[in-house]
């Protein structure tokens, strides 16, 4: 099932693990950071995939990915194979193709500290970004709760693409630069076509749409300043 698993990872009571059953990073980090952690954890040649694992209490309260919280039935998601459900953590692991002993050890370790709202492995809930995606009503840590009351659920996730940092090199007016680093007359780029000013980093949400609008505006101002339509007519005539 195609679904953007962007926001449920920060809620208290869900972890993400690899096929070895290991957690690989702070699940409440941005989707960009989360996937960086995953890519770093996967051995060369292995499938880049993770499983979100939670208990029934979590699923019914927050939902898990596309599967909705109470009172929406889980049957449709289970029948399609999207939501995997089992009475125990080991059985859940077996049904997902995760190492059962690995997942059991991970959940036991996580739970021991999660009961006190702590995550010594990855400090979940340690940043404002983490806490915004948690549950403010859950104390003491809005991002951390144990996973202990079966049945247990899991959803497999794989990387997707929302945009790109790569693109055409531009100047401050969004004019595309040629190989000689000089603006190509009449050619502008914004959005995904423009090499991102974020340089491969994800400081917060809006890093594609914000610059896209900003540089679109700057491009328009530049076009007007350069004579706008008249210049475009000249370029069109040259192309003809
Ligand atoms: C699920 C999701 C959530 C997102 N959330 C956010 C967010 O919260 N904040 C944020 O900043 N960004 C977010 N993004 C990213 C952001 O939406 C995109 O990076 C942005 O829309 C890219 O804009 P664009 O104009 O460069 O490209 P696009 O929006 O892809 O526009 C390109 C257009 O060109 C058209 N096109 C393609 N080929 C041709 C062709 N040959 N001829 C004519 N037309 C063509 C396409 O049909 C399309 O309409 C999200 C993306 C997704 C998928």
Calculate how far, in angstroms, residue 206's C-alpha sits from the geometric centre of ligand 1: 12
- Which residue among 163, 193, 205 has the greatest number of ligand 1 atoms within 8 angstroms of its CB, and so is best to mutate? 163
User: What does the pLDDT read at residue 112?
Assistant: 98
User: What does the pLDDT read at residue 228?
Assistant: 62
Mean pLDDT for the chain overall: 94
- Which residue among 66, 170, 191, 195 has the greatest number of ligand 1 atoms within 8 angstroms of its CB, and so is best to mutate? 191
Give the residue whose CA is nearest to atom 23 of ligand 1. Answer: 191
Would you say the CB of residue 191 lies under 6 angstroms from ligand 1? yes
Is residue 239 scored above 60 in pLDDT?
no
Would you say the CB of residue 166 lies under 6 angstroms from ligand 1? no
Q: What is the pTM of this model?
A: 0.85
Percent of the chain at pLDDT > 90 equals 86
Phi, psi angle pair for 230, to nearest 5°? -60, -45
Contacts (Cβ under 8 Å, ≥6 apart) of 108: none
SS3 83: strand
Nearest to 196 by CA among 221, 225, 163: 163
Question: Could you count the other beta carbons within 10 Å of the beta carbon of residue 172?
Answer: 9
Mind listing the pLDDT tens digit for each residue in 46-78? 999 999 999 999 999 999 999 999 999 999 999
The Cα 45–Cα 63 span in angstroms is 32
Would you say the CB of residue 32 lies under 6 angstroms from ligand 1? no
Fold exhibited by the domain 8-157: Flavocytochrome C3; Chain A, domain 1 (3.90.700)
Is residue 232 scored above 90 in pLDDT?
no
The Cα 155–Cα 207 span in angstroms is 28
User: What does the pLDDT read at residue 6?
Assistant: 85
Calculate how far, in angstroms, residue 235's C-alpha sits from the geometric centre of ligand 1: 27
Would you say the CB of residue 205 lies under 6 angstroms from ligand 1? yes
Shortest-distance atom of ligand 1 to CA 4? 1
Give the residue whose CA is nearest to atom 3 of ligand 1. Answer: 162
Is residue 203 scored above 60 in pLDDT?
yes
Shortest-distance atom of ligand 1 to CA 191? 26
Domains in the chain: boundaries: 8-157, 175-239
Would you say the CB of residue 206 lies under 6 angstroms from ligand 1? yes
Decide if 133 contacts 7 (C-beta within 8 A).
Answer: yes
Phi, psi angle pair for 103, to nearest 5°? -70, -40
User: What does the pLDDT read at residue 227?
Assistant: 84
User: What does the pLDDT read at residue 163?
Assistant: 84
Phi, psi angle pair for 45, to nearest 5°? 90, -20
User: What does the pLDDT read at residue 92?
Assistant: 98
The Cα 92–Cα 74 span in angstroms is 16
Burial annotation 116-151 (CB, 10 A radius, 16+ → b, else e): ebbbebbebbeeebbbebbbeebeebbbbbbbeebe
């Amino acid at each position: 099932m195609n679904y953007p698993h962007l926001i449920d990872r920060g809620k208290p009571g869900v972890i993400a693990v690899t096929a070895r059953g290991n957690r690989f990073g702070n699940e409440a980090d941005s989707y960009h950071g989360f996937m960086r952690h995953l890519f770093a954890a996967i051995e060369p040649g292995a499938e880049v995939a993770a499983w979100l694992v939670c208990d029934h209490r979590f699923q019914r309260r927050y939902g898990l990915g596309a599967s909705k919280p109470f009172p929406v039935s889980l049957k449709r998601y289970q029948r399609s194979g999207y939501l995997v459900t089992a009475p125990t953590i080991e059985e859940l692991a077996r049904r997902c193709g995760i190492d059962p002993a690995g997942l059991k050890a991970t959940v036991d370790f996580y739970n021991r500290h999660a009961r006190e709202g702590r995550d010594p492995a990855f400090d979940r809930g340690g940043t404002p970004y983490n806490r915004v995606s948690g549950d403010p009503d859950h104390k003491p840590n809005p991002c951390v709760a144990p996973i202990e009351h079966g049945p247990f659920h899991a959803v497999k996730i794989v990387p997707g693409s929302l945009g790109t940092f790569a693109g055409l090199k531009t100047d401050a007016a969004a004019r595309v630069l040629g190989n000689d680093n000089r603006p190509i007359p009449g050619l502008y780029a914004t959005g995904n076509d423009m090499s991102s000013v974020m340089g491969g980093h994800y400081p917060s949400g809006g890093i594609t749409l914000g610059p896209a609008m900003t540089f679109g505006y700057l491009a328009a101002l530049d076009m007007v300043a350069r004579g706008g339509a008249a210049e475009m007519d000249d370029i069109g005539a040259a192309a003809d």
